[in-house]
Amino acid sequence: MSNDTDYHQFIDNEEGWVDRRIFWEEEIYERELKQIFAKSWQFIAHDSMIPNANDFYTTYMGEDGVIGARQKDGSVRVFLNSCPHRGNKFCFADEGNARSFICNYHGWSFGIDGKLGALANEHVYDEGDIDKEKWSPKQARVETYKGLIFATFDPEAPSLDEWLGDFRWYLDMMFDNDGETEFIDGGIKSYVNANWKFGVENFIGDAYHALWNHDSGLKAMNNGEGFGPAVTENSYHASVNGHGWEFGTDGYADVVIGGSEKWLNYVRDIIKPKIKDKYGELRSNIFGSLASVSLFPNISFLPGIQTFRVWLPRGPKKLELRVFTIVNKNMPEEIKQEINNACMMTFNPAGVLEMDDGENWEGNTQVNKGFLTRQEKLHYGCGITREIEHEELPGIIYKGQFNDANQRHFYTRWADLMNADSWNDVPTRYTPRHTKTSK
Amino acid sequence: MTNLSEKSAVPASMELTFEVEQFLYKEARLLDTEEFHAWLDILTEDIHYWMPYRYQRYRKNHVEPTVNHMAYYNDDMHNLKRRVLRNDTGTCWSEDPATRSSHVISNIEVEHTDNPDEYTVYSLTTVNRNMNEDEEHLMVGHRTDVLRRVDGQLKLAKRKIILDQNIFMNKSLNVFL
């Protein structure tokens, strides 16, 4: 693909299709690393994962390995995990606590702030051979939203608040419904031989698959009882800047999936009343209903089930899934463990729902090795005429959570960023109600 | 390391070791042949089936996982029955065609415990999983079990599995290890 490729050619929101080549072609993937992952705000860690000074967690932004580290002043720095001398990683742990990192190859050391410090056998360098400030690993911009630490390597990117935009109206239901949140200790990492976008787009709007694909999983968790019929009334897709939340406005479907009565009661008696007090009736009704969420480009979570995950790209045909459980800090320990167990039973590689998802996404991806197969389009036309204005719900709103709307808007945002030479080229495609934009 | 009590220091007899080995081989066969209800029958009602998460840490930062951390499995009998129920629903699409798996159980060691009816059993489980057209996955786990003698028969009362893999290398863990 040349640089003057128009990436909107790969999606059509009038006819409702997506070109399969975006899930397969190496050139498109390389462009994603540059245009999506080198520019977007991405999830690094939850505050609770690195609570103390010198705590660190290693992850990836695109395929760039990074370290997120808590500083002595409580701030977080994020920097490349690659020694500027010959390039080796200088931290090989997933997490821990360290005052410094020392590269195995020649013994160059780096402070917890990421700055180059002492070199082993430093006397072999003459005065003036190296400017340590200049030869320190590249640092990212870091901002947090309600305990979630984000970073971007793009100095020109809009602020995190603007990036999230009116999606914060929805996020607060999850990340500020009763005080601060935290992650349960540990996490599960796994590989799926699928394009990263298939995980994201599933969580962004695909309520539809749950009824069919997860019938066995829900029956396992719910005493043999499956989902009710697909109700298209009083449920919605909401899209803001490529982020998407699909949801109902009543019921407890996403809590029932966890199969814990104690957690169900806690949602009914504690969480929902708190949300009602703080944010009003509508959002109190949304929380716990059949719902799923993704943040552009690669973060997802399920309110009520409480799984939180990132889909790290590993080439166009493989992703690394990192799974966490999110709870409120002030919940009784017993409820936290009910949630953790319910979450693990359903959404990790051994989860009774998750086990079915990976199969689909690998199939979606791997069939495209067929040259003719990947010239065929994929249908994204469900609910294409159902866009509405809603007096309370911000963002681009579609009626009926069984819909491809959030997916279509995710791919529109994807194409906007794939095309953009600068942030001025990236349109704001919704009408903000709660967010000031710089343009 | 825990101190071995006097009883656990007494070596298990060849007879007991043979009985335990046969129990583990039979269990492996029930899992390979998907006889999950028969498998549930050889577990105690208070079974704890646990496979904690795994992270790579520096030696000085070692953390021993607890049941309050994330886990692949942290199941009691109720949850294990749920997993078996999933396979019985008739709508478990990803298991039809069926997964083909082989459990190779080795490195079996038996120790007495302070409870005369319970034994600590160490073993290595090596599972080859073949599924769909041509997908093959290898999973190797270190198991620490507690076997309990109930009405003369051995049953599995506790299992802890530590997988070698740091990143789980497959899309799904759809076999018991």
Separation of alpha carbons B99 and B93, rounded Å: 11
Contact A184 B94 (CB under 8 A): no
Regions of chain B where pLDDT drops below 50: 1-2
% pLDDT > 70, chain A: 99
| Average pLDDT taken over every residue of chain B | 95
Chain A residues touching B72 at Cβ < 8 A: 188, 344, 348-350
> What is d(CA A162, CA A201) in angstroms, rounded to the nearest whole number?
22
pLDDT of residue A379: 98
In A, residues 223-242, which contact B (CB 8 Å cutoff)?
A: 224, 226
CB of A262 within 8 Å of any CB in chain B? no
- pLDDT at position A188 is 97
- Give the nearest chain B residue to A189 (CA atoms): B167
Q: Which two tokens stand for residue A323?
A: 């799974």
pLDDT band at A366 (very low <50, low <70, confident <90, very high): very high
Q: pLDDT digits over A401-429, tens only?
A: 999 999 999 999 999 999 999 999 999 99
What is the interface pTM, i.e. ipTM, of the complex?
Answer: 0.94
> In this structure, are residues A97 and B61 in contact, taking their beta carbons and an 8 Å threshold?
yes
Q: Do A355 and B69 touch (CB under 8 A)?
A: no
What is the residue-averaged pLDDT of chain A?
97
Shortest distance, CA B115 to any CA of chain A (angstroms): 29
Interface of B with A (CB under 8 A): 51-53, 55-58, 60-61, 65, 68-75, 79, 82-83, 85-87, 89-94, 132, 166-174
CA distance A398 to chain B (A): 30
CB contact under 8 A, A219 and B86: yes
Q: In this model, does residue A319 exceed pLDDT 90?
A: yes
How close B86 comes to chain A (CA, Å)? 5
Are residues B89 and A216, on separate chains, in Cβ contact within 8 Å?
A: yes
Tell me the mean pLDDT in the region A144-173: 98
Would you call A219 an interface residue with chain B, using a CB distance cutoff of 8 Å? yes
The residue in chain B having the minimum alpha-carbon distance to the alpha carbon of residue A334 is B68
Which one of A96, A259, A349 has the shortest CB-CB distance to B172? A349
* Contact yes or no for B172 and A358 at CB 8 A: yes
Q: How confident is the model at residue A106 (pLDDT cuts 50, 70, 90)?
A: very high
pLDDT band at A435 (very low <50, low <70, confident <90, very high): confident
pLDDT higher than 60, residue A2 = no
| % of chain A residues with pLDDT over 90 | 96
The pLDDT, as a whole number, for residue A228 is 85
Predicted local distance difference test score (pLDDT) of residue A437? 72
CB contact under 8 A, A324 and B70: yes
Q: What pLDDT does residue A4 have?
A: 83
Three-state SS for chain A is CCCCCCHHHHEECCCCEEEHHHHCCHHHHHHHHHHHHCCCCEEEEEHHHCCCCCEEEEEEECCEEEEEEECCCCCEEEEECCCCCCCCCCCCCCEEECCEEECCCCCEEEECCCCEEEECCHHHCCCCCCCCCCCCCCECEEEEECCEEEEECCCCCCCHHHHHCCHHHHHHHHHCCCCCEEECCCCEEEEECCCHHHHHHHHHHEHHHHHHHCHHHHHHHCCCCCCCCCCCCCEEEEEECCEEEEEECCCCHHHHCCCCHHHHHHHHHHHHHHHHHHHCHHHHHHCCCCEEEEECCCEEECCCCCEEEEEEECCCCCEEEEEEEEEECCCCHHHHHHHHHHHHHHCCCCCCCHHHHHHHHHHHHHHHHCCCHHHCEEECCCCCCCEECCCCCCCEEEECCECCHHHHHHHHHHHHHHHCCCHHHCCCCCCCCCCCCCC
Of B58, B86, B171, nearest to A358 by CB-CB distance is B171
pTM: 0.96
